[in-house]
Amino acid sequence: MAGGKYLENLWYVAGWSSDLDPGDRVGRTFLERPVVLWRAHDGTAYALEDRCAHRAMPLSAGVVDQGAIRCPYHGLEFGGDGKCIRIPAQDRVPDTARVRAYPLVEKQGLMWIWMGDPGRADKALVPDYPIHENPAYAWRSAHFPVKGNWQLLIDNLMDLSHLPYIHANTIGGNPELHFKTKTRSEKLTNGVRVVRHMPDSVPPPTYVDAAGFKGKIDRWQEIHFEPINIRIHTGACDAGSGAYDGNREGGFSMLGFHGITPETATTTHYFWSMATNILDNGVPDEVFEQTARTFREDQEVLELQQFRLTQNPAAPMIDIASDVGGRHTRQLIARLLREEEEVAALVP
Amino acid sequence: MAGGKYLENLWYVAGWSSDLDPGDRVGRTFLERPVVLWRAHDGTAYALEDRCAHRAMPLSAGVVDQGAIRCPYHGLEFGGDGKCIRIPAQDRVPDTARVRAYPLVEKQGLMWIWMGDPGRADKALVPDYPIHENPAYAWRSAHFPVKGNWQLLIDNLMDLSHLPYIHANTIGGNPELHFKTKTRSEKLTNGVRVVRHMPDSVPPPTYVDAAGFKGKIDRWQEIHFEPINIRIHTGACDAGSGAYDGNREGGFSMLGFHGITPETATTTHYFWSMATNILDNGVPDEVFEQTARTFREDQEVLELQQFRLTQNPAAPMIDIASDVGGRHTRQLIARLLREEEEVAALVP
Amino acid sequence: MAGGKYLENLWYVAGWSSDLDPGDRVGRTFLERPVVLWRAHDGTAYALEDRCAHRAMPLSAGVVDQGAIRCPYHGLEFGGDGKCIRIPAQDRVPDTARVRAYPLVEKQGLMWIWMGDPGRADKALVPDYPIHENPAYAWRSAHFPVKGNWQLLIDNLMDLSHLPYIHANTIGGNPELHFKTKTRSEKLTNGVRVVRHMPDSVPPPTYVDAAGFKGKIDRWQEIHFEPINIRIHTGACDAGSGAYDGNREGGFSMLGFHGITPETATTTHYFWSMATNILDNGVPDEVFEQTARTFREDQEVLELQQFRLTQNPAAPMIDIASDVGGRHTRQLIARLLREEEEVAALVP
């Protein structure tokens, strides 16, 4: 558990673009630092330190006025670059009147923020998620507060062997089926890929409801981690129709995007979307609600886990066979944290 | 105040046997350590560390399945001895897959747990409370959470001179009567015994309600402490009928059992039962409720005391005359704590 | 921010005399120390350490009995000088049975307490506020709990340039007017005086409601700080009628008294009164409620500020032009804190 240590130099999901209309602002904490996200009236979104340079007042309690956000206490105004542009009853605005600006990029419905060294904030590195722009898919999104460390959420998503226990009533399916399924995990240059295939299996209720399978199915779970988001492609075709050879025409696909942004050592922002290929009128309420309910079941687990870990952080934990993907992920994160520490040590 | 230091090597009350039907489980914290109590379908009760060896999930959130308790997250199953007996999707169960098992004994309606060195857990030392099995008595029990250190609760029960103040409306009786009553405290080998006699006194409302006394009474309070439970025998006979010489026939007896188990340095499990000899149809609701209300009055006091002690733990306290029993108890506990420390220091 | 460091040797407001009828008691925390304020049946008010010398029980949970306050647990009684005068069931009361007594003075409707060295508690130094006894004024009082450090509340009151932002809907008035107003601050021997004049200005809604101004007004804000209370005299006369030369006959005056007493490093007791000269039937409900609402707006600001300061106490803050009065105040407080430390260092 790296509680309190965070990867700094990467793009984190800060929110959904739809969270902010022009003139809106919202205060959020990322990596233990308060940030105000706001959208100017021209449509541009910004991220600033959420603490006025004057008397520490949260700017997120203020108002957006055209291209600036105004502190609610004494009226100081800050532009998107963090510089104060107006101090009431004072002609000169000193250079010290500024708050930290965080690079923010909007892409494919997501707002991405860079909390680390601004000089390394390369927009070309913003993760790509074209599903959100693909007209063949319908999708819906959510923002869940999780009362657990970010690595617990990663563990949860990288090892789906918990499905028959935590989610027995929804997406779980037959426990024995899950036990027999081989989990393969592969280390990538900057990621981890986990694949589980369940050929010739009985479809779980969700699948039957959504896609109308009549017989057995070839089912797959493909999980791709890169720091720090996870894409999970689950789906199925009629058994024997060639899904594992790439022929997934006519099958059922659910594509989950999972943005995981640490809030504190024990709390996490969980931004997720669910896309599906098969439905004409968008993701129906019942499918979305069932997915949300499933993820809330996970949150209850993470909260209980975190409670025990906080009580006794030093107690040992053992790994089991299905942890292979999670373990690869932890190894990658540990390497990246070491690299960041080495770079930090070089700074004079 | 020994806040944060606990006697380890003795039998503590973990709960009432009636707390658990077969297949039930409940999570409780004793001596700052999380414990799951559960009853297998064959009727045997067990106590295990309430933290799965895999990912720290509380087992008390799981389910009992015949002779095992199953973690709700990934389905690991543990037997009553703490050994993991099944890891889904894995053939071999390693020896490291285990949680700590605490010795648990059921006797006379109580579950007793041993939190210390398991090698010293002698079942012959489980305290005996035959009243719970004596057909001449009816009894009812409760479990109260107390927001105060365990020693505060002991102080409270060892010195009943607080009755006319805290419990003026129920069991208090005339303050002057209490002031004139001599408190005698005697040190025993492994305990303390406090006796107060109030001859020829006016019965308090509770006594009149329960036993129908018409005139004055010879009243007694006999308190017996052993680490760590307290039995309080209070009662009365008609004045002059020989109660202090042992003739208590036809009198009224209330026998209280008080199991005191530290939860944390500032919170305590209070397991109590109230038995009475005189009533044909068990302890009536009003007597039980009045007792419970009385004990709740004590809890409010302990919570306020604890609040002040937490604010300033080092501030001095003075003893008064009626503290003699409590002081003997503290001396005994201090000696036992020293002995445990000496034994611990010997372990290489 | 002096969080956790307090000026000790001065008279603080402990409450309003009207808070306590004879026989009443109330527990409050000042400078992190629990105090019970109580009024004997003869009408005298006292302040004692709110922790019984015996078992740390708050005396404020007890009862006043004539000239003593009785602990609710075992009945010990303490007089106004802190000495125990009765221990039930015990003939002798030892000298160690006492709690700390704090000097308390009642004057002009206020109770003033001295938390520091009792030998320096000179009653001649109790601040004078004759407005409360002047029949030309009507006044009403309140006690607000503020979730912010005491210095934040002082800052708030010494710099009224926040009015157009926080109080736009009530006493704010035209922002531009406030911006153009010169703030003059003067250091006094034991205080700070801030004056702002707004000649020939449009009256804010409150003023029109209360005083019926028909045209423009000469408006003033005069703020006087002494450790640690603030008097704010705001008001107006018809423009050009000589208010700035001392002729305020027929004008509208609001006189605010602001007693600021630290509770903890992050919470403050705020005792305020509002007096006005112009109204025949006392301060009307709507004026008092509007004032209270205004001060509640300030409290929300202070709570948000304190939250950010607690998150990161070391982060820098900048001053702006309107901070001149607050800066003078902080300089004075810093000097007084240094002097107290020097005196404390001399004590052997």
Predicted pLDDT of residue A3: 43
- Answer whether C80's CB lies under 8 Å from C101's CB: yes
User: Both tokens of residue C261?
Assistant: 């007493």
Residue C1 has pLDDT above 50, yes or no: no
φ, ψ (nearest 5 deg) of residue C241 = -90, 10
Predicted pLDDT of residue B2: 39
Q: How far apart are CA C287 and CA A200, in angstroms?
A: 77
Residue B254 to chain A, least CA–CA distance (Å): 41
pLDDT in tens, C93-106: 999 999 999 999 99
- State the burial class of residue C280 (Cβ atoms within 10 Å of its Cβ: 0-12, 13-18, 19+): exposed
> Which residue ranges in chain A fall short of pLDDT 70?
1-4, 170-180, 278-281, 348
Predicted pLDDT of residue A178: 63
C interface with A, Cβ–Cβ < 8 A, is: 155, 159, 161-162, 164-166, 175, 178-181, 183, 301, 304-305, 307-309, 311-312, 315-322
| Tally of CA atoms within 13 A in the half-sphere of C26 that contains its CB | 14
Residue A222: CB atoms within 10 A of its CB come to 15
Predicted pLDDT of residue C173: 61
* A203 closest CA partner among A232, A179, A234: A234
Residue B313: CB atoms within 10 A of its CB come to 11
- Record the pTM: 0.91
Assembly ipTM: 0.89
Q: Give ranges for CATH 3.90.380.10 in chain C.
A: 130-339
Query: Given a contact as 3+ CB pairs under 8 Å, which chains touch C?
Result: A, B
In chain B, the percentage of residues whose pLDDT exceeds 90 is: 69
B interface with A, Cβ–Cβ < 8 A, is: 34, 50-51, 53-58, 61, 70-76, 87-90, 94, 96-97
Q: How far is CA B15 from the centre of its chain?
A: 9
φ, ψ (nearest 5 deg) of residue A95 = -65, -25
Residue A102 parent element (H or E): strand A101-102
Chain A residues in contact with C169 by the CB 8 A cut-off are: none
Predicted pLDDT of residue C2: 39
- CB pair distance less than 8 Å for B34 and A311: yes
Residue B56 to chain A, least CA–CA distance (Å): 6
Predicted pLDDT of residue C279: 60
User: Would you place residue B175 in the very low, low, confident or very high pLDDT band (cuts 50, 70, 90)?
Assistant: low
Q: In this complex, which of A34, A74, A97 lies closest to C162 when CB atoms are compared? A: A74
| Tally of CA atoms within 13 A in the half-sphere of C213 that contains its CB | 24
Predicted pLDDT of residue B278: 62
Residue C291 has pLDDT above 60, yes or no: yes
Q: Helix H segments across chain A?
A: 150-158, 163-166, 175-180, 205-211, 285-311, 324-346
Predicted pLDDT of residue C159: 87
Chain A residues in contact with C304 by the CB 8 A cut-off are: 57-58, 61
Q: Are strands C110-114 and C138-146 parallel, antiparallel or unpaired?
A: unpaired
Predicted pLDDT of residue B181: 74
Q: Find the distance separating the first CA and the last CA of chain B, reported in whole Å.
A: 29
Architecture of domain A131-339: Alpha-Beta Complex (3.90)
Q: Helix H segments across C130-221?
A: 150-158, 163-166, 175-180, 205-211
Residue B192 has pLDDT above 90, yes or no: yes
Nearest chain C residue to A33, by CA: C311
Q: How far is CA A51 from the centre of its chain?
A: 25
pLDDT, chain C, mean:
91
Predicted pLDDT of residue A70: 97
Q: How far apart are CA C141 and CA B314, in angstroms?
A: 38
- Answer whether A64's CB lies under 8 Å from A24's CB: yes
User: Would you place residue C3 in the very low, low, confident or very high pLDDT band (cuts 50, 70, 90)?
Assistant: very low
- CB pair distance less than 8 Å for C73 and B162: yes
Predicted pLDDT of residue A20: 98
Residue C190 has pLDDT above 50, yes or no: yes
Residue C178 has pLDDT above 70, yes or no: no
Judged by average pLDDT, the poorest of A106-115, C128-137, C275-284 is C275-284
More confident of the two residues B286 and C113: C113
- State the burial class of residue A85 (Cβ atoms within 10 Å of its Cβ: 0-12, 13-18, 19+): middle
- Answer whether A315's CB lies under 8 Å from B51's CB: yes
Residue B242 has pLDDT above 80, yes or no: yes
Chain C residues in contact with B309 by the CB 8 A cut-off are: 56
In three-state secondary structure terms, C133 is: helix
Residue B180 to chain A, least CA–CA distance (Å): 49
Residue indicated by tokens 């050592």: A265
Q: Give ranges for CATH 3.90.380.10 in chain A.
A: 131-339
Averaged pLDDT for residues C12-40 = 98
- Answer whether B148's CB lies under 8 Å from B302's CB: yes
- In one-letter notation, the amino acid at residue C322 is S
Q: Give ranges for CATH 2.102.10.10 in chain B.
A: 11-125
Residue B309 parent element (H or E): helix B285-311
Predicted pLDDT of residue A204: 79
In chain C, the percentage of residues whose pLDDT exceeds 90 is: 69
Predicted pLDDT of residue C215: 92
Q: In what order do the strands lie in the sheet with C110-114?
A: C11-16, C110-114, C104-107
Class of B11-125 per CATH? Answer: mainly beta
Averaged pLDDT for residues B136-151 = 94
Q: How far apart are CA A194 and CA A321, in angstroms?
A: 13
A interface with C, Cβ–Cβ < 8 A, is: 34, 50-51, 53-58, 61, 70-76, 87-90, 94, 96-97
pLDDT in tens, B279-304: 666 777 887 888 899 899 999 999 99
Q: In this complex, which of B50, B55, B73 lies closest to A165 when CB atoms are compared? A: B73
- CB pair distance less than 8 Å for C301 and A58: no
- CB pair distance less than 8 Å for B57 and A155: no
Going C158 to C159 to C163 to C167, the CA torsion angle's sign is negative
Q: How far apart are CA C196 and CA A89, in angstroms?
A: 13
Q: How far apart are CA B32 and CA A70, in angstroms?
A: 48
* B151 closest CA partner among B313, B8, B333, B347: B333
- CB pair distance less than 8 Å for B320 and C34: no
Q: How far apart are CA C326 and CA C320, in angstroms?
A: 10
Residue C278 has pLDDT above 80, yes or no: no
Q: How far apart are CA B291 and CA B274, in angstroms?
A: 8
Predicted pLDDT of residue B3: 43
User: Would you place residue C172 in the very low, low, confident or very high pLDDT band (cuts 50, 70, 90)?
Assistant: low
Q: How far apart are CA C163 and CA A90, in angstroms?
A: 16
* Entry field: residues in chain A: 348
* B6 closest CA partner among B114, B92, B78: B114
pLDDT in tens, C150-164: 999 999 999 888 887
Chain C residues in contact with B321 by the CB 8 A cut-off are: 87, 89-90
Answer CATH for C130-339 from 3.90.380.10, 3.40.109.10, 3.40.50.1950, 3.90.1150.10: 3.90.380.10
CA angle B56, B36, B65 (to 5 degrees): 90
Q: In this complex, which of B162, B183, B304 lies closest to C74 when CB atoms are compared? A: B162
Predicted pLDDT of residue C93: 95
Chain A residues in contact with B69 by the CB 8 A cut-off are: none
Residue B69 to chain A, least CA–CA distance (Å): 13
Q: In what order do the strands lie in the sheet with A11-16?
A: A11-16, A110-114, A104-107
- CB pair distance less than 8 Å for B179 and C88: yes
Region of residue C42 (phi > 0: left; psi between -120 and 50: alpha; otherwise: beta): alpha
More confident of the two residues C211 and B82: B82
User: Both tokens of residue C275?
Assistant: 């007096």
DSSP state letter for C61: G
Tell me the β-bridge partners of A112. Answer: A13, A105
User: Both tokens of residue A218?
Assistant: 């070839």
- Answer whether A110's CB lies under 8 Å from A13's CB: yes
Going A185 to A188 to A191 to A195, the CA torsion angle's sign is negative
